[in-house]
Amino acid sequence: MFSLGLTGLLVRRNLVFVLMSLEVMLNAAGLAFVVAGARWHQADGQVMFLFILAMAAAEVAVALALVLEIYHRFKSLDIDELSEMRG
């Protein structure tokens, strides 16, 4: 799933899709943690997943606010257009 998320991140140009793929990747990482915790019978896996969850929530909030800002400023959600930091 992580690879799928990565693929989605690299392929899609729409900013929203990029963020969604990012969520997929985070989720996949969390899945790996939980499975590992269950394998070794430790609570740490689930705890880690909790933190990832919290972080993902905060990140989504800020990211989506930014998406709105970008849309209203650049009138486009194409990630390739948003390349003002080029060398």
Partner 1 sequence: MIRLLWLIPTLPFASALILALIGPRLSKRVAAALGAGSIGFSAAITILVAVGFMTSPPPGNSYTQLLWTWISVDGFRPQIGLYLDPLSLVMLLVVTFVGFLIHVYSAEFMIEDDDYSRFFAYMNLFVASMLVLLLGNNLVLLYLGWEGVGLCSYLLIGFWYRDPANGRAARKAFILTRVGDTAMSIGLFLLFTQLGTLGIQDLMQRASAQWPSGSTYAVAAAFLLLGGAVGKSAQLPLQVWLPDAMAGPTPVSALLHAATMVTAGVYLIARTHVLFSLAPSAQLAAAVVGACTLLLAGFSALVQHDIKRILAYSTVSQIGYMFLALGVGAWQAAMFHFVTHAFFKALLFLGSGVIINALDDEHSIFRMGGLRKELPVTFWTFLIAGCSLAGLPFVTGGFFSKDLIIWNAWSAQYGHPAFWIVGIIGALLTSLYTFRMIFRVFFGPLDIPVTKRPGYRMTIPLVVLAFFSIVGGFLREPLLGFLHSALPSTIEAHTGGLTEIRSGAIAGVIFLIGLYLAYLFHLKKRNWADALVSGPVGRSLHQWWFADWGFDWIYDKVFVQPFVWASEINKSDFIDAFYSGVAWLVRWFYQGLSHTETGRVRWYAAGMAAGSVLFLAVVLFK
Partner 2 sequence: MELAFYIAGGVAVLSTILMVTRPHVVHALLYLIVSLLGVAVVFYLLGASFVAALEVIVYAGAIMVLFIFVVMMLNLGAQAIEMEKRWLTLGIWVGPVVLACILIIEVLYMVRGSSTGLAPGGVEPKQVGIALFGPYLIGVELASMLLLAGLVGAYHLSYRKVEKREIQHDAHTHERRAAAGGDLVLAGADRPARTP
d(CA 36, CA 39): 5
What token pair was written down for 56? 């993902």
Closest CA to 25 of 52, 61, 65, 58: 52
Q: Which is nearer to partner 1, 25 or 56 (CB)?
A: 25
8 Å CB contact between 28 and 12: no
Least CB distance to partner 1 at residue 85 (A): 5
Q: Alpha carbon 66 to chain centroid distance?
A: 14
Return the number of the residue (20 or 87) whose C-beta is nearest partner 2: 20
Binding mask 40-69 for partner 2 (x = CB under 8 A): -xxxxxxx-xxx-xxxxxxxxxx-xxxxxx
Binding site for partner 2 (CB under 8 A): 1-14, 16-17, 19-21, 23-24, 27, 31, 34-35, 37-39, 41-47, 49-51, 53-62, 64-69, 71-72, 75, 77-78
